[in-house]
């Protein structure tokens, strides 16, 4: 069973037992401070990229449109605003991690370097950067730079002293043809039946992550019964996979339309 909770905006603290396997409709910046300290085993966060695409249409060779992230949720006034937002949610995420919890943050070249610096400055200790190598990346713009075929995941603990975190090394090895358990995961973009579309066939979410990515994250760094938090859940890939793998989830998402899609998705998960 799962629940949808609409954050009332008040200051009342949430009890973990009440929000386990829930989607909270609300702003993570307001909701996270109301979560109990030291309460989750794993965090996966896929924050806005602050992509700053130009307002004019970008076209590829051959004339097709470039469909970047143009959503309102990806817009910030400046790098300072973006960093302030990042510091606010990461401070709360660090607080709600159990002592041996780990955190995964995914981003592109637009944002991951800023986030990585902020994490290190805050005391997080980075265990790995895992490269998601897209086996079918979007072709490049006008041939003026390399085709961007990767995203970067930072996997970290709260601080350097944390040693007893979950790492299922046999699972990690099974993803790597060399058997070494390397930090490069070759996974296609989310497509086919997995991609959530509206009645007209348009993508419901511009950056829905592939289920295989979340499957690898949860299988390598959690155990059955663990609590997984995703504070900017989009269309709920984290919760859908957590449910399937018998992990508990807490998801926060501020857009009502996406939360509706999560509800539908969880019914089928
Ligand atoms: C990159 S997308 C996440 C996609 C998700 N991983 C998936 O597979 O569907 C980022 C999401 O963060 C949400 N978001 C942005 N700012 C937020 C905030 N302050 N509180 C809650 N959600 C937020 C956006 O609405 C967007 O859906």
* CATH number of the domain residue 62 falls in: 3.40.50.150
- What range does the domain containing 187 cover? 3-268
Identify the segments of the chain with pLDDT beneath 70: 55-68, 141-142
Burial grade of 98 (CB within 10 A; 0-12, 13-18, 19 or more): middle
Q: CB within 6 Å of ligand 1 — which residues? A: 27-29, 46, 48, 73, 205, 207-209, 232-235, 237, 252-255, 258
The answer to whether 150 and 182 have CB atoms below 8 angstroms apart is: no
What pTM value is reported for the model? 0.95
Token couple for 45: 């966060």
**Angle at which helices 256-268 and 237-244 pack, to 10 degrees?**
20
Mutation to probe ligand 1, out of 203, 232, 264 (largest number of atoms < 8 A from CB) = 232
**How many domains is the chain partitioned into structurally?**
1
Note the pLDDT of residue 67: 63
Token couple for 30: 């307001």
pLDDT 10s digits, 72-114:
899 999 999 999 999 999 999 999 999 999 999 999 999 999 9
CA of 143 to the centre of ligand 1 (A): 30
What is the C-alpha separation between 22 and 42, in angstroms, rounded? 15
Note the pLDDT of residue 53: 76
CA of 17 to the centre of ligand 1 (A): 24
């Amino acid at each position: 069973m799962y629940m949808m909770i609409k954050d009332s905006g008040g200051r009342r603290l949430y009890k973990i037992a009440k929000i386990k396997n829930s989607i909270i409709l609300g702003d993570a910046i307001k909701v996270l401070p109301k979560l109990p300290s030291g309460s989750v085993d794993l965090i996966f966060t896929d924050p806005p990229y602050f992509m700053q695409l130009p307002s004019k249409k970008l076209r590829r060779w051959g004339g097709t449109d470039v469909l970047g992230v143009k959503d309102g949720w990806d817009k910030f006034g400046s790098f300072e605003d973006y960093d302030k937002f990042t510091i606010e949610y990461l401070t709360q995420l660090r607080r709600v991690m159990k002592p041996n919890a780990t955190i995964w943050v995914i981003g592109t070249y637009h944002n991951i370097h800023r986030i990585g610096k902020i994490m290190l400055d805050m005391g997080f200790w980075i265990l790995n950067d895992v490269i998601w190598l897209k086996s079918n990346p979007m072709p490049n713009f006008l041939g003026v730079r390399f085709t961007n075929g990767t995203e970067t995941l930072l996997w970290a603990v709260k601080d350097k002293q944390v040693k007893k975190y979950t790492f299922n090394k046999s699972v990690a090895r099974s993803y790597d043809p060399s058997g070494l358990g390397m930090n490069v995961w070759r996974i296609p973009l989310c497509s086919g039946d997995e991609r959530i579309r509206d009645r007209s066939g348009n993508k419901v979410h511009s950056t829905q992550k592939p289920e295989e990515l979340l499957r690898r994250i949860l299988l390598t760094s959690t155990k059955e019964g663990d609590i997984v938090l995703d504070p900017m859940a989009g269309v709920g890939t984290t919760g859908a996979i957590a449910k399937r793998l018998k992990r508990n989830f807490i998801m926060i998402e501020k857009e009502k339309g996406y939360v509706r899609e999560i509800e539908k998705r969880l019914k089928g998960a």
